[in-house]
Chain A
Amino acid sequence: MRLNAEILMMIGGVCAFLLTVWQVRSRDLREKYAVSWILVSLGLLACGLFPQMLKSLAEATHLSYPAAVLFLALGAIYLFGFSVSLSLTRQYRRTVRLMQEMAIQECRLRQLERQLTFSPQGKEQS
């Protein structure tokens, strides 16, 4: 069997599907993100299984030369990458604020513990 674009897309689709399922199973990927990645893998698989579908789409949109396909692929990668950067920025802000709040609360807790230890009631309790 000769390796061609259709077979490559089918292999890629199956691998992407299995990778997504595996990462969700091990709780390294949230289901929220898995939905879009499963759609991508199914899209790849469909392109491999039904190449005519891709050809019809290319003819309908007049994007039938390789550079246009590359442009579309780069566009999709850009959108995915950018949304990941936005998500990471939000997560970073939340993590930092949580860490700061935690450090401040921990400091106040230590001060309270010290006050309790040195107060007369604290001595009675200990």
Chain B
Amino acid sequence: MLRHLIVVPAYNEQDALPRTLETLQPLPEEYEILIVNDGSRDRTGAVAEAYAAQSRLPVHVLHLPVNAGIGVAVQTGYLFAQKMDRFHYVIQFDADGQHDVAALPKLVETAAREQLDLCIGSRFLDHGSTGYQSTMTRRFGIRFFSRLIAWLGGVRVTDPTSGLRCAGPRAWRRFAKHYPEDYPEPETLFWCVRNKLKVGEIPVQMHPRQGGVSSIRPHHAVYYMLKVSLAIVLDRLRPLGH
């Protein structure tokens, strides 16, 4: 039986984490959960360990000694999958309660059926969706990256910043080697598109965060836009596969 790993990066998520982890319990046996405690200063690590001790599904907890950012936390999950060598798909799932657990099996099924290397849960694919679609400023940023990736890579993705993503072996083995330390989603998506990995999306519902603080602070927005745009444009100059 193919096994899949759900990577839950968590930084100061002691309030939202228990509820998020509880929602993962009904998943089938083939799923394992990896909580990456990214140097939290609150009780996130203890909450994760307590959950691991009583969970029905296998749960692993990694503690990074200092806060290193979302990219490093997620990449640690890919490295873990590489070392364990028993997982087929690796799925990123936010600890803050924004993601809907019902989307996980659909992501995996779609990735398997359509042989996708990266399957993204999109907030914007279902036009009649009543789910949370982020603030207006962020939607502007999302549209900008969507167009930039379409222009430079030739593939249109509606939600390039979505943190709900299912990566197949070709994608996550590369991510284990190279992964941006901050704001990684649009850049890694572009790498997949440019290197002819198959990328797809499914519609998902998202919720407002249940606790904690977003890694993209309002005063970081300009830096975020510049850094990610530069990373995408410069990736275009690298040899393929690099």
A residues sitting closer than 8 Å to B (CB atoms) are: 92, 96, 99-104, 106-107, 111
Contact = CB atoms under 8 A, between A and B. Distances in A.
A115 B66 CA distance: 28
9 contacts: A100-B76, A102-B65, A103-B76, A104-B62, A104-B79, A104-B80, A106-B62, A107-B80, A111-B60
Interface in B66-100: 66, 68, 72, 75-76, 79-80, 83
Interface string B132-172: 00000000000000000000000000000000000000000
Interface in B21-49: 36
B63 A104 contact: no
A102 B80 CA distance: 11
Interface residues of B, number: 16
Contacts of B76: 100, 103-104
B231 interface: no
B60 A99 contact: no
Contacts of B125: none
A92 B77 CA distance: 19
Contacts of A96: 68, 72, 181
Nearest to B69: A96
B64 interface: yes
Nearest to A110: B61
A111 B76 CA distance: 17
A90 B87 CA distance: 30
Contacts of A101: 79
Contacts of B83: 104
Given A96-B181, A100-B75, A107 B68 contact: no
Nearest to A101: B79
A103 B181 CA distance: 17
Contacts of A106: 62-63
Nearest to A114: B53
A45 B93 CA distance: 59
